[in-house]
């Protein structure tokens, strides 16, 4: 399976279990790896035969900016489902970064990574 990756998509969301997270919001960063067969697109040099990663990026940002959820696990799942709606995408790996998580000790990042496939 071929892969198309989008790294470092940034959007402000209001996800989290604490009132401050819901009220103030914070930046989330999303990395995606889309699994698909790129041979038909490459053979015909045709965008219609692959995934339009610009549209995927816009949809993912809309999910992050959209309805708040408590857990980044839930956010990752919603993002995965949006990606799998694109024809040709057979698998997706989603990594959601929450670099401003409310943790009381020094840290660099918190991430949740999931992999989902078409059934």
Distance separating alpha carbons of residues 90 and 25, to the nearest angstrom: 32
Topology annotation, domain 2-117: GTP Cyclohydrolase I, domain 2 (3.30.1130)
What mean pLDDT value characterizes the chain?
A: 97
Residue 39, φ and ψ in degrees, nearest 5: -60, -45
- Beta-carbon-side half-sphere exposure of residue 25 (alpha carbons within 13 Å): 12
Three-class SS state of 5: strand
Active-site positions read: 98
Classify residue 19 by its DSSP letter.
H
Q: Is the per-residue pLDDT at 119 higher than 80? A: no
pLDDT tens digits for 32-82? 999 999 999 999 999 999 999 999 999 999 999 999 999 999 999 999 999
Domains of the chain, residue spans = 2-117
- Number of Cβ within 10 Å of residue 58's Cβ equals 11
Strand partners for 33: 5, 93
Q: Can you spell out the DSSP letters for 30-73? A: EEEEEEE--HHHHHHT-GGGS--HHHHHHHHHHHHHSS--S-HH
């Amino acid at each position: 399976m071929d892969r198309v990756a989008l790294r470092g998509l940034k959007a402000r969301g209001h996800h989290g279990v604490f009132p401050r997270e819901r009220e103030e919001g914070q930046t989330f960063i999303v990395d995606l790896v889309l699994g698909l067969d790129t041979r038909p697109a490459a053979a015909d040099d045709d965008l219609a035969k692959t995934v339009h990663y610009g549209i995927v990026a816009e949809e993912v940002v809309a999910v992050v900016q959209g309805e708040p959820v408590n857990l980044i696990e839930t956010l990752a799942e919603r993002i995965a489902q949006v990606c799998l709606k694109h024809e040709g995408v057979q698998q997706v790996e989603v990594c959601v970064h929450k670099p401003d998580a409310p943790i009381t000790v020094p840290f660099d990042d918190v991430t949740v990574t999931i992999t989902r496939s078409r059934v």
